[in-house]
Amino acid sequence: MARRITGIVTALLVVLALLTPGISEGAAKYTILLSMKGPGSGNPFWAAVERGARDTAKAMGVNLVVLAPPAETDVQAQIAQIEDQIAKRVNAIVVAPTDVSALNTTFDKARAQKIPVLFVDTDGTWRSKLTFIGTDNRAGGVMGGQFLCGAFKGKGDVAIITGVMTTQSIRSRVEGARAAMAKCGLHVVAELPANSDRALGQQAMEDILTSKPAVKGIFAANDLMALGAAEAVKARGKAGKVLIVGFDAIPEAAQAILSGTMAASVAQSPYNMGKFGVQNALRALTKKSVAKRIDTGTVLVTKKNAAQYAK
């Protein structure tokens, strides 16, 4: 009887091992690099990308290395970090590039070592990428622009606060918003850069209010710039009179929408970018198919639904 029970237990353990994802497939031997273009500390968007990647890596039993340059404009720092990991023979690279083409030589080095490269958040020009996982940023920009079109019935002056325009995601958002607002009849009277920075967003908004006092609406290419713009508008006593639309729907922006200092934001799914990045890197490493384009979706956040994003 004891021998029979032992046999049953052994059989059950074998079945459980076969059913356990990740580890049973040898996932523990793989190390995946997540190279973000901005640090998670101080930026809820990148923090969510990192959290999605870490949660998934833990669940699937893979090793994860997370690195980011000190600023989204520091292309050389990101290149150095990635090339160091290539030298250490990382197995796959999930990257949000600081520049759409400046890292191509680095990616060529990864390809020479047969290291798959997956892009998240920001697409690049490198032709050998495995996939792009992220938002249709142009469509998101159109969504933000159309909100202002509806608010002003296609009449009035608006402005755009841009980020780093060499970044594909930012450029696509701006192009989408600009096209949507021009199509409905709004006049885009100013476009000022703020490099995805809150303080610079505030300064840009102050400059716009000084040079174009009739401006009624602002599209900012990310929420940090939008929040900075909201501070400038509030300081001029125009809170709620100048409608500000951001991008990312980070918790503080959602809270600003609820309080009325921002009007809307376009939400992405940064957690899914990290999650799908790790999942599909492991699929590639285990010789499974990976789609060339994986859309993580967008949602317009207004007072109607901001509470769920404010946590």
DSSP assignment of the chain: -HHHHHHHHHHHHHHHHHHSTTGGGTGGG-EEEEE-SS-STT-HHHHHHHHHHHHHHHHHT-EEEEE--SSTT-HHHHHHHHHHHHHTT-SEEEE--SSSSTTHHHHHHHHHTT--EEEESS--S-TT-SEEEE--HHHHHHHHHHHHHHHHTT-SEEEEEE--TTSHHHHHHHHHHHHHHHHHT-EEEEEEE-TT-HHHHHHHHHHHHHH-TTEEEEEESSHHHHHHHHHHHHHTT-BTTBEEEEEE--HHHHHHHHHTS--EEEE--HHHHHHHHHHHHHHHHTT----SEEE---EEE-TTTGGGG--
Q: Do domains 27-135+270-296 and 137-267 have the same CATH topology?
A: yes
Q: What does the pLDDT profile of the chain (311 residues) look like in tens digits?
A: 444 444 443 443 333 333 434 433 567 799 999 999 988 777 888 999 999 999 999 999 999 999 999 988 899 999 999 999 999 999 999 999 999 899 999 999 999 999 999 999 999 999 999 999 999 999 999 999 999 999 999 999 999 999 888 888 899 999 999 999 999 999 999 999 999 999 999 999 999 999 999 999 999 999 999 999 999 999 999 999 999 999 999 999 999 999 999 999 999 999 999 999 999 999 999 999 999 999 998 999 999 999 999 98
Write out the CATH class of domain 27-135+270-296: alpha beta
pTM value surpassing 0.85: no
Please tell us whether the domain made up of 137-267 is placed in CATH 3.40.50.2300.
Answer: yes
So what's the pLDDT on residue 25? 52
| Domains of the chain, residue spans | 27-135+270-296, 137-267
So what's the pLDDT on residue 26? 66
